[in-house]
Amino acid sequence: MSGLPQTADYVRILPELVLSIFGIVVMLLEPLFDERRSQRTLGSIALIGSLVAIMASVFQAQNPGFAFWNMVRVDGFSVFFHVLVTTIAAVVILTSYEYMSVQRIRAGEYYGLILFGTVGMCLMSSAVELVLIFIALEISSISTYILAGFRRREAASSEASLKYFLLGSFATAFFLYGVALMFGATGSTNIDKISPALEQSTVPPLAYLAVALMFVGLGFKVASAPFHIWTPDVYEGAPAPIVGFMSTAPKAAAFAVLLRILFEANAPGRFWLIWFSAVLSMCLGNLGALVQTNVKRLLAYSSIAHAGYLLVAFAAAPEVGVSAAMFYTAAYAAMNVGAFAVISHFANAGEKYVTLDDYAGLGRRSPVLAATLTIFLLSLIGIPATGGFFAKFYVFSAALKADLVGLTIIGVINSAVAAYYYLRIIVVMYMRESREEIPVRGIPLGLGTALVVSLAATIYLGVLPGRVLDYALASANQLMQTPASAAAATVNPGR
Amino acid sequence: MVPLSYYLVLSGILFACGVTGFLIKRNIITIFMSIELMLNGVNLSFVAFAARWHALRGQVFVFFVMVVAAAEAAVGLAIIIAVYRTRETLNVDQMNLLKL
């Protein structure tokens, strides 16, 4: 544990470095530009940054291994989440151009914060040391706390930010307590060293409590029940593109951490924890969504339900379950970012038009947008030929393979219930006349590109899921094999 | 020498005090302070475990927790000011714009 970091170490955090540098550049340039014209320039810089980061993650894939004294582990699993999270960031930046000018928010920090948040999420997926996981979690959370309150003049937005912040730090404290107890139980904070300590025949009882507490903290971040209370309020108040961002990217990253902690570290007592949380999330999310009239709120409840489906995959057998979960995060990201891109375009100044009634007659007023939103909603239901179908299919087949018949039945019934409220939006768009004249704008280039990308991803995952799934399966296998060096490590390596 | 369990019980009590404060207090600043109390409870158990395992790792972790808590405080206070500007109150019971 001595000496300076090598070049290989830096290559293994290359995407994070790229994103940080571009984020800093955005922050430095922000005061130099004229306020009215800075948006587009700074946004473009941020966009380039995230595209370079995607390339860096792909490049990084050729250099798997550990970095910074076993703090970071680059493997297929981490590369998958790197690419996913940075792509989400790029699409959200594209969506934001128009939204920011319509809402008259003039602040370049917005793009900087998206990049910094993405740094945290990338680190979360590659960190194998609980210290680093904690810091990465906070980097991503603190950025999203601020982003949630970006419509500063709206009371609802700052309230959303406050609720997110208070409950978020509350949950972080639980996560941290879990880390402390895990350190106490095993004598290490490195996942690869915790894992052999927990494989012994007598697992220290403290470890069970530690896993439960860490699950509370991460369950909050992924909005799974019973830690979901904040979700509808925050999603309703936060700016629409940011909701698209925080319902997918931090969630994907938190699921990555959860996968690492639960499976790579062999957390004890995880099964029932996941089982109950999955059932609760699916039921509460879908029942809550049934009565909503605000579209953002409705999708917030739907995102709770989707966290539940994802947790079903966690309850299933390791390899198949992990790969199903990875596929699900990707498919969910594609459709949800797309849906929120449409919503943010349609919301108009001050986010005036976000209720279900405002969507009446959208099919006539703006056929292209209505058709796009319909595809995303059908994918969220899980109709074949969309990404959502295969995502659900793999999750439930993984659950069946692990003989979780009860959980599968609950999940399938829930997806049937969910179809009702998604279809309701589609019915309102096409079958009902609008009561008031809502202005329709053309689709600008940035938003158009964002929609095309998410649409293409949704359809691609629905028609040709093989490649992504194979990749996910390969990296899940890799994740399960802890290196021999870690297995040889003793229980008390500490120093 | 004070046994390990004393420290752990104290840290548990501090954490529980923080949780209770978070749940029953109505002023945002007080709620925020309760969160800090929870973090400090955690810090105490980190230090205690570090002594138990003779591992510096635990003590280093405490520094990181402090730094992150400071960053969180900076952002949190900014958010609280933003809320106060639009609402002119710091009572969480009146944060009820967003409800079912």
pLDDT over 80 at A494, yes or no:
no
pLDDT over 60 at A460, yes or no:
yes
Kindly list the residues from chain B whose CB atom is less than 8 angstroms away from the CB atom of residue A166: 22, 28, 31-32, 35, 76
Q: Which of A166, A193, A235 to mutate to test the interface with B (most CBs of B within 10 A)?
A: A166
Cα A350 versus chain centre, distance: 26
DSSP run (H or E) holding A315: helix A295-315
d(CA A97, CA A108): 11
Q: What is the pLDDT of residue A487?
A: 41
Q: What is the pLDDT of residue A344?
A: 93
Q: b/e for A162-182, b at 16 or more Cβ within 10 A?
A: bbbbbbbbbbbbbbbbbbbbb
Report the greatest alpha carbon distance in chain A: 70
Residue with tokens 């996913």: A84
Q: What is the pLDDT of residue A103?
A: 87
Q: What is the pLDDT of residue A490?
A: 35
Q: What is the pLDDT of residue A459?
A: 95
With an 8 Å Cβ cutoff, are B64 and A160 in contact?
no
Q: What is the CATH number of domain B4-88?
A: 1.10.287.3510
Of A135, A154, A161, the CB nearest to B68: A135
Q: What is the pLDDT of residue A199?
A: 82
Kindly list the residues from chain A whose CB atom is less than 8 angstroms away from the CB atom of residue B32: 166, 169
> Binning pLDDT at 50, 70 and 90, where does residue B100 land?
low
For A99, the token pair is: 């939204």
Instruction: Taking residues B41-60, report their average pLDDT.
Output: 92
Q: What is the pLDDT of residue A485?
A: 39
- Minimal Cα–Cα distance from B92 to chain A, Å? 9
pLDDT over 50 at A484, yes or no:
no
Q: Among candidates A344, A348, A338, A346, which has minimal Cα distance to A372?
A: A338
Contacts of A416 (CB under 8 A, 6+ apart): none
- Minimal Cα–Cα distance from A368 to chain B, Å? 31
d(CA B85, CA B90): 10
With an 8 Å Cβ cutoff, are B22 and A170 in contact?
yes
**Residues written for chain A:** 495
pLDDT over 70 at A483, yes or no:
no
Helix axes A445-463, A367-381, angle to 10 degrees: 30
Q: What is the pLDDT of residue A482?
A: 59
User: Which of the residue ranges A4-18, A85-99, B33-47 would you say has the lowest mean pLDDT?
Assistant: A4-18
Nearest CA in chain A to B60: A131
Q: Which of A169, A298, A492 to mutate to test the interface with B (most CBs of B within 10 A)?
A: A169
For A49, the token pair is: 């940054």
- What rounded mean pLDDT belongs to chain A? 90
Q: What is the pLDDT of residue B89?
A: 85
Q: What is the pLDDT of residue A2?
A: 60
Cα A260 versus chain centre, distance: 15
A492 touches chain B (CB under 8 A): yes
Instruction: Taking residues A261-284, report their average pLDDT.
Output: 89
Q: Among candidates A381, A379, A353, A380, which has minimal Cα distance to A366?
A: A353
pLDDT over 80 at A296, yes or no:
yes
Q: Give the CA dihedral A316, A320, A322, A323, nearest 10 degrees.
A: -140
Q: What is the pLDDT of residue A28?
A: 93
A58, A74, A326 from A62: Cα distances, Å: 8, 10, 20
Of B11, B31, B57, the CB nearest to A166: B31
Helix axes A130-148, A249-259, angle to 10 degrees: 160
B62 touches chain A (CB under 8 A): no
Do A388 and A380 form a contact (C-beta atoms < 8 A)?
yes
Cα A270 versus chain centre, distance: 21
Do A422 and A302 form a contact (C-beta atoms < 8 A)?
yes
Q: What is the pLDDT of residue B2?
A: 86
Can you count the helices (H) and strands (E) in chain B?
Answer: 3, 0
- In this structure, is the dihedral angle defined by the CA atoms of residues B76, B78, B79 and B80, taken in order, positive or negative? positive
With an 8 Å Cβ cutoff, are B76 and A169 in contact?
yes
Of B11, B71, B79, the CB nearest to A162: B79
**Cβ pairs bridging A and B (under 8 Å):** 131
Kindly list the residues from chain B whose CB atom is less than 8 angstroms away from the CB atom of residue A167: none
Contacts of A343 (CB under 8 A, 6+ apart): A240, A244, A295, A296, A299, A354, A373
| Domain ranges across chain A | 8-481
Q: Which of residues 8-27 of B touch A (CB under 8 A)?
A: 8, 11, 15, 18, 22
Q: Among candidates B98, B11, B50, B80, which has minimal Cα distance to A169?
A: B80
Contacts of A371 (CB under 8 A, 6+ apart): none
pLDDT tens string B83-98: 998 888 888 888 777 7
Q: What is the pLDDT of residue A491?
A: 37
B57 touches chain A (CB under 8 A): yes
Nearest CA in chain B to A206: B8
pLDDT tens string A206-215: 899 999 999 9
Residue with tokens 């375009």: A345
Beta-ladder partners of A65: A74
Nearest CA in chain B to A297: B100
Higher local confidence (pLDDT), A490 or B55: B55
Q: How many CA atoms lie within 13 A of B31 on its CB side?
A: 22
Q: How many CB atoms lie within 10 A of CB A202?
A: 5
Q: Which of residues 278-307 of A touch B (CB under 8 A)?
A: 291
d(CA A110, CA A218): 25
For A209, the token pair is: 């409590």
With an 8 Å Cβ cutoff, are A183 and B46 in contact?
yes
> Binning pLDDT at 50, 70 and 90, where does residue A374 land?
very high
d(CA A73, CA A34): 42
For A64, the token pair is: 């798997």
Higher local confidence (pLDDT), A205 or A45: A45
Nearest CA in chain A to B79: A162
Residue type, A108: G
Higher local confidence (pLDDT), A335 or A481: A335
Q: How many CA atoms lie within 13 A of A107 on its CB side?
A: 13
Q: What is the pLDDT of residue A486?
A: 42
A351 touches chain B (CB under 8 A): no
With an 8 Å Cβ cutoff, are B82 and A161 in contact?
yes
> Binning pLDDT at 50, 70 and 90, where does residue A233 land?
very high
Please confirm whether the linkage preceding A226 is cis (ω < 30° from 0). yes
pLDDT tens string A313-360: 999 878 899 999 999 999 999 999 999 999 999 988 888 889 998 999
Residue with tokens 């290989």: A8
d(CA A141, CA A448): 29
Percentage of chain A modeled with pLDDT above 70: 97
Instruction: Taking residues A369-386, report their average pLDDT.
Output: 94
Instruction: Taking residues B32-52, report their average pLDDT.
Output: 95
User: Which of the residue ranges A128-137, A193-202, A389-398 would you say has the lowest mean pLDDT?
Assistant: A193-202
Beta-ladder partners of A67: A72
A230 touches chain B (CB under 8 A): no
> Binning pLDDT at 50, 70 and 90, where does residue A168 land?
very high
Helix axes A445-463, A387-401, angle to 10 degrees: 40
Q: How many CB atoms lie within 10 A of CB A21?
A: 14
Q: Give the CA dihedral A17, A22, A23, A26, nearest 10 degrees.
A: 160
Of A173, A233, A237, the CB nearest to B35: A173
> Binning pLDDT at 50, 70 and 90, where does residue A371 land?
very high
Q: Which of residues 396-425 of A touch B (CB under 8 A)?
A: none
Residue A47 Ramachandran class (φ > 0 left, ψ -120 to 50 alpha, else beta) = alpha
DSSP-assigned letters across all residues of A366-425: -HHHHHHHHHHHHHHHT-TTSHHHHHHHHHHHHHHHTT-HHHHHHHHHHHHHHHHHHHHH
Nearest CA in chain A to B11: A177
pLDDT tens string A439-452: 788 889 999 999 99
A125, A311, A476 from A115: Cα distances, Å: 16, 28, 27
d(CA A70, CA A129): 7
Higher local confidence (pLDDT), A59 or A488: A59
Residue B54's Cβ-count burial label (10 Å; 0-12, 13-18, 19+) is exposed
